[in-house]
């Protein structure tokens, strides 16, 4: 059982995300025509908003809205197309949902517009390696930032999947992302790290990263893990489509919680919320805290 430090993350628009008392569940809202996971509203903004609201009803603590597929091998789209997909969804969810909205983008122009439309944090799969202006855009919006680990671009990232010690190298490369963010004006206490399961990592490397998640504690930042429905699971489950990987996802989610994750990013919120609750109960009963004490609220506004 890995100890978990508590953090308060300041968000854009005055919110505070309280991390550590319990694991938060981030629900994925895909606004793409080619979602690998088979969920989301396609590029229909109304359907995507309805999907997001349903995820909140199911128990999501945050929503992550993305308009470009970042699966390995995916083709990029330009910022104008991405903005046209996500901005109506972000604006509607920021107005109607009761949880913080994250924009899943590596483009500075998309982040600027999305935070202006109500997004309170930016989720960058590139760890600030794709667009040098993204950190400055996030700083200007006073938003929180998730920096994820990857190498290369979607079309060639597996060519970069060479590690002598994957967890140690991921930690070192995430530290570069943290330093880059701070140099651009983002306070370190607004930063969250993501080991990038499945990004520039083959299946065995992704499982090793999960098993050694505690190596990221040296960064002294909250940890977000996105293990949901990804192809690394087929190394264990066999060649099954993403929608049939929920039991495998459940195993990875439970392990992530027990090994110190503060947030898990998932597609099937209702089922994974049960997994998180049980794993959190195990954590609580393992520690010294009063197991009957109520958990603190995860999100506040000032």
Chain mean position to CA 170: 16
Q: Which residues pair with 65 in a beta bridge?
A: 29, 103
SS3 31: coil
Rounded Cα distance between 19 and 243, Å, is: 29
Residue 24 half-sphere exposure toward CB, CA atoms < 13 A: 27
Q: Which of 18, 151, 265, 283 is catalytic?
A: 265
Rounded Cα distance between 80 and 45, Å, is: 16
Q: Which of 22, 230, 245, 283 is catalytic?
A: 230
Q: Give Cβ neighbours of residue 292 (< 8 Å, ≥ 6 apart).
A: none
- Determine whether 22 is an active site residue: no
Cβ 126 vs Cβ 149: under 8 Å? no
Rounded Cα distance between 129 and 104, Å, is: 15
Residue 157 half-sphere exposure toward CB, CA atoms < 13 A: 22
Kind plus residue range of the DSSP H or E element containing 7: strand 7-10
- Determine whether 265 is an active site residue: yes
Cβ 16 vs Cβ 302: under 8 Å? yes
**Catalytic positions, please?**
230, 265
């Amino acid at each position: 059982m890995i100890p978990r430090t508590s953090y308060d993350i300041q968000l854009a628009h005055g919110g505070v995300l309280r991390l550590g008392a319990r694991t938060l569940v981030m629900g994925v809202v895909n606004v793409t025509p080619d979602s690998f996971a088979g969920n989301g509203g396609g590029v229909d903004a109304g359907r995507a908003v309805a999907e997001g609201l349903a995820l909140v009803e199911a128990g999501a603590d945050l929503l992550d809205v993305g308009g470009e597929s970042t699966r390995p091998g995916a083709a990029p789209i330009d910022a104008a197309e991405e903005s046209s997909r996500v901005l109506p969804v972000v604006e509607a969810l920021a107005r109607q949902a009761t949880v913080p909205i994250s924009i899943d983008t590596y483009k500075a122009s998309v982040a600027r517009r999305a935070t202006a439309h109500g997004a309170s944090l930016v989720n960058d799969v590139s760890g600030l390696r794709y667009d040098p202006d993204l950190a400055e855009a996030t700083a200007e919006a006073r938003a929180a930032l998730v920096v994820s680990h990857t190498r290369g671009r979607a079309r060639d990232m597996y060519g970069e999947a060479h590690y002598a010690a994957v967890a140690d190298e991921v930690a070192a490369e995430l530290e570069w992302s943290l330093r880059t963010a701070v140099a651009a004006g983002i306070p370190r206490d607004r930063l969250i790290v993501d080991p990038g399961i499945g990004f520039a990592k083959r299946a065995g490397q992704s499982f090793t990263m999960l098993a050694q998640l505690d190596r990221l504690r040296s960064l002294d930042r909250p940890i977000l893990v996105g293990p949901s429905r990804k192809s690394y699971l087929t190394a264990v489950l066999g060649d099954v489509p993403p929608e049939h990987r929920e039991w495998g996802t459940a195993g990875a989610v439970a392990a992530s919680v027990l090994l110190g994750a503060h947030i898990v990013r998932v597609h099937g919120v209702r089922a994974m919320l049960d997994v998180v609750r049980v794993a959190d109960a195990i954590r609580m009963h393992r520690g010294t805290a009063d197991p009957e004490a109520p958990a603190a609220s995860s999100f506040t506004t000032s």
